[in-house]
Structures are given as C-alpha cells and as structure tokens.
Structure 1
Amino acid sequence: MAFENDTSASAADEATEWLIRVRENPENDEVRDAFNAWIFASAENRREWEKTCQAWRAVGVARTSRSRVASGQRGRTNSHGAKSKIATAFATAGLALCLIAFAGPSMLIRMQADYQTGTGQTRSVDLADGSRVILGPDSALLLAFSDSRRGVVLLKGQAFFDIARDENKPFEVDGGGLTIAVLGTGFDLDLGENRSVVALAHGSIEASSLSGQRVLAPGDVLTLDRHTGGISEAKVDVADIGAWREGRLAVVNQPIGAVIAEIQRYHPAWISVPDQSLADQKVTGIYDLKAPDEALGALVDPYGGKVRKISAYLRIVSRF
C-alpha cells in the first residue's frame, strides 16, 4: 500500500511539472511528444493530470473570493504584504495554467489532438487497423497506437467508434475519467461538462473508472458523474445510439442543461441558461440537430421555457 501511495505522489508531482512545461513551451514538438508519452504511460498519470488541472482551477476561484474580503481590509495592515503578493502571483499563474486544460478550444488540446472538429462539423477518421471513428462537432481525438497497443484518447466532445476486431491486440479508448477496453464493437462516447456517457450499439465493452468496472451489452448506457464519481446505468433503443450522426439527438432522462450543452456543439451562438431550476429539469425525447434553434424550443417549451434571440451570437433560455 505504501508503494501505491508513493507512486500516486510521484505522478501528482509529475503532473504539476508537465502543466508548467506545456505552458512554457506551447509550440514545442519535443515537449508535446514527451508529454504524450508520459500521459499514456499509465491510467494513474491521466487521473493525476485531471486532478492537477482541477486543483489549479479551484485555486483561481478561491483567489477571486478572497480578493473581495481583502479589498475591505486594505490599508489596515501590511504585515503579510510580501507573502500575499507571492500567493496572488502563484494563484494567478495557476489559474492561467489551468485554462490550458479547460478553455476550449484550449492550447493543450490543440497541441495534443491529431484530429479536431469545429461547431456543427463532423469528421470520419479511418485508423490504420481498419477501425473507424466519427467525430462529433467541437470534438478532439488523439491517437495512441504502438507496436503493442491500439488506442485513442477522446480529449473533448463526442465520437462514435466502430472498432475492427483483433483478439491479440485489444483496443482501448480513454476519455473523461473512463477507460473502455474492446475487441471489436461499436459504441458512442460523449464527454459533457460534468459527465461522461458511453452507450453500446453492438458487441461488448468493459468500461472502468475509479468507481469500478462494468461490462456493457448492446443498448446499455453508462453515465459517470465526474464530480462525485457516481455511476448510473440505463437501457435505450440501439437505433438511437449515435443518432447524432444522422442529425438526431436522442435523450433519455437527462437534465435540460446537459441537453443544451449537446445542442451547443451545433449552434454558432452562445447559449445561456440562467434559470437553474429549468436546467435541472429531466427530459426524454428526440431533437433535430439540423435546426438547433427549433430543437431548443422543442426542448424547453413543455416546461414553460422560452428561447430569446438576443443577437446572432447569443441565446438566453429561461422561464422568465
């Protein structure tokens, strides 16, 4: 057990060092290649990388809150002035570094991705082993092939995977806290803001996270809450899995806010949902992604919601 803790501590330190190196060398191919080698070396490295970015982001949020309090005390004491300046600089640097991982499309994703799509775009990627990946809008994919390994990382967005069978070399997909091991199968992986969803169309897959492992059968949908680590499972019609490839968004018992995040990938305007109670409302339905404004209306109208077009670049969705 002590050995495992030491390994985790080492990975955490390395993740922090890589965050700094990537920030300082955004266009350096050698840094990119070395970072990719490190992050693919183990699932522990990938977990510590996500935790490190989340921690930096939290430092920035905490600093914003503290600054309001500090402003009211300014002039009373300067006893900790030097330390405060150092802490502020440290937090500011941390927040800037974290933006590499969270801003989209981020510098980090641009450095890592082998394939990307923009708003409303899809892309078919044929892999060297005969597998095919269809990238959804606003998505990014990184290849991780070697002589002994077949694999990819979904860095952001959504993709449908049709994996060629090779019993001697299983295929592995990483993304959003999930690792999916397959032989030959078809499945959809969707990385939302706070959740990761995998749905199996045909074949069999094993999905694993820090919460454990699950083996999925066709029609199974597994959702990972990345904040709590909680896992939920559901059943859907196989025909609805990956329906976005045909311009349809099939939703089963999902919050309106999460569905709007899906539609956002197809909409050129920024969509704001200030009404949290509306965003939390669970819905089930099928929506037309070829007409995102109409899809928004169909989504929220039954619950008293309205879509207000403020400009070509902004939509506000609320009950008021």
Structure 2
Amino acid sequence: MATGNSQQRIDIRKVETEALEWFLLHSERELGDSEQFAFDTWMSQLHNRASYQRLQQIDRSLAAIAATEEGARLRQRSGFAGVWATLNNYFGIAPISGFAFACTLMLAVGVAYLAPWHGEPAPRSYASELAQVRTVILEDGSQVTLGGDSAIETDFSGERRHVKLLRGQAFFAVAKDASRPFLVNAQGTEIRVVGTRFDVNAGSRLNPEVKVTVEEGIVDVARSPVQPEDTAPKVRLTAGQQVRVDARQLSRISTVENTEVASWRQGKFSYRDAPLSEVVADANRYRKDRIIIGTRELEKLRVTTAFTADQADTLVAMLEQSLPVRVFKEPDGRVVIWPGTVE
C-alpha cells in the first residue's frame, strides 16, 4: 500500500512539472509543429489538462492582483514575504504546501508581477477576465478598454509612455502629449502615436497576426527592429485604415467602416474574408469551453460572418451551418471543428 501511495505522489509531481514546462514554453514563444502536436497529445489527458488550466488561472489571477491597489502597495513596501502572504490568501497555497511542486515554482516565477521595485517607477499590469470588457485610466489620463481575457503592462517614464499588449485585444484613447510619444508593443509590432484612438488585436497562436485599426488620428506601425541599428519598414495609418503584421511583413492598408472599429466594445464581432483561426481565437476569449480547430488547413479557411458576445457559445453551430466543417463536443466541454461537407 505504501508503494502505491508513493507512486501516485510521483505521478502527480510529474504531471505538474510537465504542465509548468509547457506553460513556460508557451509564454516564451510560439510552438513548432512537432511541439504543438506533442502538446495537444499531452493535453488530451484529463489530469494533464487540469494541471495546465490551473496554471493559466493562477497567471490570470496574478495579473489581476498586480493591477489592484493592493498589488501597488505590495510592490512599494512589503517585499517577498508580503507577496507570498497575499498569494496564499488568494490561492490557499504556501511555498511548502498545496500544489506543492510545479505550482510553487509557477508562483516563484509569477511573483515578478508583485515584486517590489526600487528607483524607477514600477510597471503596472492590468487584466480582464474571460468574457469581461474592462476600461482602465492610465496615469497620463489615457483610457484603455480591454477585451475579454486580455492583459497589458504599462511603463511610463519622464520621456516616454510605453504599453505592452501581453495578450488579447485593447482599444486605446491616448491623451495628447507631444513631448512624450505613446508606444504600444504587441508580439513584435510597434505602434507609435502622440494622441489618437486606435484598436490593437495581438493575435494568437493559431493566428499570429497583429491587427491595428485606427478610429481617429494618425498611427505609425512597424515591426520591432531585431537590432537597435535596424531600420524596419513602417506604415502610417489614418482614421478608417487597418494593417496586419506578421513575422515577415506588413500587409497592404485596408479600409474599415468607422462603426466597425473596435465594435467588440459594444459586444459585436464582424469578419470579412478572415481566417477561421482569427474568428475562433476571438470567440475563445468570450466563452468558457474552448473551440479547437482540428487541422492546419481549416485554420486558413476564409470566413465572412458576424456574431455578438452573447452568441459566442452558439457560434460553432452557426459555423457548421455555413462552412464545410463538422463540430464535435467532447465530454470536458471543448468543441473541436473538423473538415466536413455542407449538406
């Protein structure tokens, strides 16, 4: 009996260790094809998926804590002891108990959200929950509206205003200040403005394109240079214009109806000849059970559709009716889209 219990503990530790490794790898970069296949296979096991999803929830919660007044106080005065105490209050986890092995390491990494800073002003983090639209006012008076399951980090100094879109989508209404340019970085794309209104979608693993759309003013968009001396191509957008940026290039400038710029703020989503991967990635930020695209070919399937936030749960049925796909719901609630035929 003792041998059986020991083996069970070792198995749990192995699962938690693997979950942490996959989580950190996802945070660092996009997975290659073979890695993605290995990850999907690993995630098909219920106990693996449960461990991974808990790390995701901890990460979202850490970002949310950091964005509160309590998070700011922790950064200013309490040090790591106070951080650990706060994490224990939120999660019921101490460094030597609970989700002991992988989770403790995860929190040790995540404590950077709340670690105290000295000298330079501490970066601030803001996050939204799944299906939540949240508006925050930055220290310069600029306003940022976060879409579902989105996060930003701000770093304002005397000479610049810098925001990193960590994930998801955000609409910026920037306070004018000619002496302090406002920079937004999203997945290697740099957006530079002085005062304007624009939307940025950071893309996803399935659709690694950054999409920038301008409602008002002028916005410069470029790939971030690999080396400081590099000169990257850039485009200048004005009201009603949009550009997509991937790892290789900037797309041609397209036009967008003013009423469609960041219409997600009113719970409306519309797509014209967009890849299915983009539609699914957006919908997944507004529904509890994730939609999975079964094949690489389907990710590129072009879609013209529209739905509202409260229709995110029924989107897959709408897609099945209009596209050559079949939809399967798994026991854990996930929905998988496979190639099929329209009757």
Tell me the TM-score normalized by structure 2.
0.60
User: What percentage of residue pairs aligned between the two structures are identical?
Assistant: 27
Q: 2:267 aligns with which of 247, 250, 253?
A: 247
Q: Structure 2: which 5+ runs fail to align?
A: 1-19, 39-54, 63-105, 114-123, 226-231
- The reply to whether residue 156 of structure 1 matches residue 176 of structure 2 is no
Q: 1:104 to 1:128 in 2, by over 3 A?
A: closer
Count the aligned residue pairs.
Answer: 232
State the partner residue of 2:158.
Answer: 147
Question: 2:176, 2:273 → 1: CA distance?
Answer: 33
User: 3-state DSSP class of the match of 1:231?
Assistant: coil
Residue 238 of structure 2 aligns with an amino acid whose one-letter code is A
1:219-242 per-position Cα deviation (integer Å, ceiling 9, x unaligned):
11110123x345343211111111
State the partner residue of 1:279.
Answer: 299
Contact 2:135 2:145 in 1 (8 A): yes
Contact 1:109 1:140 in 2 (8 A): no
- The reply to whether residue 225 of structure 1 matches residue 239 of structure 2 is no
Q: 2:330 aligns with which of 304, 310, 319?
A: 310
State the partner residue of 2:236.
Answer: 215
State the partner residue of 1:206.
Answer: 220
Q: 1:236 aligns with which of 243, 246, 256?
A: 256
Deviation at 1:272, TM superposition (A): 1.3
Deviation at 1:319, TM superposition (A): 3.5
Contact 2:243 2:250 in 1 (8 A): no
Aligned CA RMSD, in angstroms, stands at 3.2
Question: 1:318, 1:261 → 2: CA distance?
Answer: 16
State the partner residue of 1:45.
Answer: none
Deviation at 1:147, TM superposition (A): 1.6
Deviation at 1:298, TM superposition (A): 2.5
Written as runs of structure 1 = structure 2, the 5 A alignment for 1:46-125 is 53-54=28-29, 61=35, 111-112=112-113, 114-125=125-136
User: 3-state DSSP class of the match of 1:291?
Assistant: helix
Question: 1:305, 1:104 → 2: CA distance?
Answer: 34
Q: 1:179 to 1:173 in 2, by over 3 A?
A: same
Residue 151 of structure 2 aligns with an amino acid whose one-letter code is A
Contact 2:125 2:153 in 1 (8 A): yes
Contact 1:287 1:298 in 2 (8 A): no
Question: 2:323, 2:32 → 1: CA distance?
Answer: 34
Q: 1:181 to 1:282 in 2, by over 3 A?
A: same
- The reply to whether residue 171 of structure 1 matches residue 171 of structure 2 is no
Deviation at 1:285, TM superposition (A): 2.9
State the partner residue of 1:86.
Answer: none
Contact 2:213 2:240 in 1 (8 A): yes
State the partner residue of 1:267.
Answer: 287
Deviation at 1:110, TM superposition (A): 7.6
Question: 2:219, 2:126 → 1: CA distance?
Answer: 24
Q: 1:60 to 1:274 in 2, by over 3 A?
A: closer
Contact 1:275 1:318 in 2 (8 A): yes
Question: 1:58, 1:285 → 2: CA distance?
Answer: 30
Written as runs of structure 1 = structure 2, the 5 A alignment for 1:5-44 is none
Deviation at 1:155, TM superposition (A): 0.9
Q: 1:303 to 1:199 in 2, by over 3 A?
A: same
Question: 2:339, 2:111 → 1: CA distance?
Answer: 37
Question: 2:236, 2:212 → 1: CA distance?
Answer: 11
State the partner residue of 2:11.
Answer: none
Question: 2:111, 2:202 → 1: CA distance?
Answer: 17
Question: 1:312, 1:277 → 2: CA distance?
Answer: 25
Tell me the TM-score normalized by structure 1.
0.64
1:81-108 per-position Cα deviation (integer Å, ceiling 9, x unaligned):
xxxxxxxxxxxxxxxxxxx99x975967
1:164-183 per-position Cα deviation (integer Å, ceiling 9, x unaligned):
11122221111111111111
User: 3-state DSSP class of the match of 2:310?
Assistant: coil
1:270-307 per-position Cα deviation (integer Å, ceiling 9, x unaligned):
21111443332112232222221222333342123233
State the partner residue of 1:94.
Answer: none
User: 3-state DSSP class of the match of 2:330?
Assistant: strand
